[in-house]
Amino acid sequence: MLQAMTSWLRGAVIYQIYPRSFRDSDGDGVGDLKGVIENLDHIARLGVDAIWLSPFVASPMKDYGYDVSDYCDVDPLFGTLADADALIARAHKLGLKVITDQVWSHSSDRHPWFTESRSSRDNPKADWYVWADAKPDGSPPNNWQAMFGGCAWTWDARRRQYYLHNFLPEQPDLNVRNPAVQDALLAIGRFWLERGIDGFRLDVVNFLIHDERLGDNPALKLAKAPPRPHQFQRHLYDRTQPETLAFLARLRALLDEFGAISVGEIEDEEPLKVQRDYTDGEGRLHTAYSFYLLRQRVLTPVIVRDAMAGWQGARGWPSWSLSNHDVIRFPTRLAGDDPERAKLMLMLLLCLRGTAFLYQGDELGLPHANVPFERLRDPEAIAFWPHGIGRDGARTPMPWLHQAPMAGFTQAADAWLPLDPRHAALAADVQEGDPASMLTFTREMIALRRESPALREGEFNALGAPEPLLAFERRAPGESLLCLFNLGAAPARWTLPMASSAVRLAHGDAKVVGGEAVLGAYAGLLLLTSGPRG
């Protein structure tokens, strides 16, 4: 019964909403929950299975919601708990599952837990965060480096100790080793599950527990200095500890009570291995995604085959995405802002075995936005300017109406981030009804995936096509599809290794002539097959 309740996840397409930038309903220049509700029909018409909402709970917004000051209340910027309930109800009426972000690795330094924890060394929450004494010379306990730059330890004069923060100093790390902290986090999970949430996306889930002995991370052997201090190290002790899996088993038991699902975000030097480990069995996550594809600057056949090979024989289920709120949008990063290449990348994503994530604007083919330095809001982008990943460029307002001020995102004169003029030209209303648009193509591909047993849950078998061709078979009982992509800029031909009965979908200049596939630059073919060629 429980397995049936969560089986929808296998092969699903999940749409990520970044609420600050989705739609502003009250004219303050910031997106909100009512704005999401007003535009859920757009998402439902895509044919996706679920939405994932980035954080909308109470926060000082030092890291735009990923620094939580109250896990069980909505930030007034986004609305109220009643708005959250209305959003859940509306999504369910449209047939959409709802997944919310849970940021349990760390909280805001303004969370009441941290206020109490830092007040003394003997209060009831003294060990709810990761505290450590200074070395005899006053320096930090070890050499761990924060993801956003600098030492991962900050001195607190109240306790005369250092506290750990893997991100900003305003984001102290929770001590998830502590059973009382685990109980508190699971109570938060229960709060949202009882409100009707269908699952959680767990932010940096492998950061939940640290090495208790606080061992120094070893240095990497590098040919040149990387752009960030944390990239000098092998992260053996500040993340991906075995004790994390025991806590995930407790979380899984809670989720099973409600028939809800879990998606883990993995940030690790061995992303595919950790993805697999964290989903390996009934007591672990339902699925996990990593930055393996998100950080690629080019998709080659080898990269895709390696990603799939990492899951060969696995008990768990993978997830894949090409864009999110933390990376350069895929039409820019992987397709050089070429709309037809962007369609091919989307087509490829939706043909992979696993759950697929789309980020808001992917369905419009939005390029990564240009945000001038003086308009940057992201602390990471500011810290690493001009060589950062530019997260603000992925977070700019969603364009709805091409001729409206601010592309229909807000009635305010400006928004919290600027609107890229190129995005207004790609607004949803422009693409609606255009048979050649990215929006139409996205709907067609999602519909095809939804109705195809092979694409949704079938096995993945790599085929030996010469580069830059990528070829693989997706096979399920009653259906077999050959998926063929020309990832190069020159035309290519390939003798098909199996008989094809019909072209299921063609993108670009792609056709079958006799027993040969003929593909123009950045073209793709999906072929129904009927067994090996005689």
The answer to whether residues 354 and 235 belong to one domain is: yes
pLDDT at 427: 98
Asked if pLDDT for residue 67 goes beyond 50, the answer is yes
The answer to whether residues 378 and 520 belong to one domain is: no
Query: Beta-carbon neighbour count of residue 70 at 10 Å?
Result: 16
The answer to whether residues 256 and 405 belong to one domain is: yes
In a domain, 189, yes or no: yes
Which residues are known to be catalytic? 203, 257
Tell me the residue range of the domain where 502 lies: 459-532
Q: Which of 422, 448, 474 is the last residue of a domain?
A: 448
The CATH number covering residue 494 comes to: 2.60.40.1180
The answer to whether residues 394 and 483 belong to one domain is: no
DSSP-assigned letter for residue 105: S
In a domain, 497, yes or no: yes
Question: Reduced to 3 states, what is the DSSP secondary structure of residue 277?
Answer: helix
Asked if pLDDT for residue 1 goes beyond 50, the answer is no
Overall domain count for the chain: 2
b or e along 496-529 (b: 16 or more beta carbons within 10 Å of the residue's beta carbon)?
bebebeeebbbbbebebeeeebbbbbbbbbbbbb
The per-residue pLDDT of the chain, averaged, comes to: 96
- Token readout for 316 is 């768990």
* Top-confidence residue, 530 or 194: 194
Asked if pLDDT for residue 2 goes beyond 60, the answer is no
pLDDT in tens, 16-62: 999 999 999 999 999 999 999 999 999 999 999 999 999 999 999 99
Asked if pLDDT for residue 290 goes beyond 50, the answer is yes
Which residues sit opposite 482 in a β-bridge?
Answer: 473, 527
The CATH number covering residue 11 comes to: 3.20.20.80
The answer to whether residues 514 and 413 belong to one domain is: no
Phi, psi of 529 (to 5 degrees): -120, 160
In a domain, 138, yes or no: no
The answer to whether residues 331 and 464 belong to one domain is: no
The answer to whether residues 214 and 251 belong to one domain is: yes
Q: What percent of the chain has pLDDT over 70?
A: 98
Omega before 477 within 30 of 0, i.e. cis: no
pLDDT at 296: 96
pTM tops 0.95: yes
Asked if pLDDT for residue 498 goes beyond 90, the answer is no
Q: What is d(CA 73, CA 80) in angstroms, rounded to the nearest whole number?
A: 7
Section 214-228 average pLDDT: 93
The answer to whether residues 484 and 352 belong to one domain is: no
Under a CB-based contact definition with an 8 Å cutoff, are residues 344 and 370 in contact?
A: no
The answer to whether residues 391 and 481 belong to one domain is: no
pLDDT at 506: 96
pLDDT category at 534 given cuts 50, 70, 90 is: very low
Q: Which of 424, 448, 472 is the last residue of a domain?
A: 448
Phi, psi of 393 (to 5 degrees): -65, -20
The answer to whether residues 417 and 508 belong to one domain is: no
In a domain, 421, yes or no: yes
The answer to whether residues 442 and 480 belong to one domain is: no
Asked if pLDDT for residue 210 goes beyond 80, the answer is yes
pLDDT at 532: 56
Residue 154: which H helix or E strand, with range?
Answer: strand 153-156
In a domain, 210, yes or no: yes
pLDDT in tens, 377-417: 999 999 888 877 679 999 999 999 999 999 999 999 999 99
The answer to whether residues 251 and 347 belong to one domain is: yes
Asked if pLDDT for residue 5 goes beyond 80, the answer is no
In a domain, 300, yes or no: yes
Of 260, 287, 357, 279, nearest to 6 by C-alpha is: 260
In a domain, 168, yes or no: no
pLDDT in tens, 244-286: 999 999 999 999 999 999 999 999 999 999 999 999 999 999 9
Amino acid occupying residue 340: E
Q: Which of 448, 482, 510 is the last residue of a domain?
A: 448
Asked if pLDDT for residue 522 goes beyond 60, the answer is yes
In a domain, 153, yes or no: no
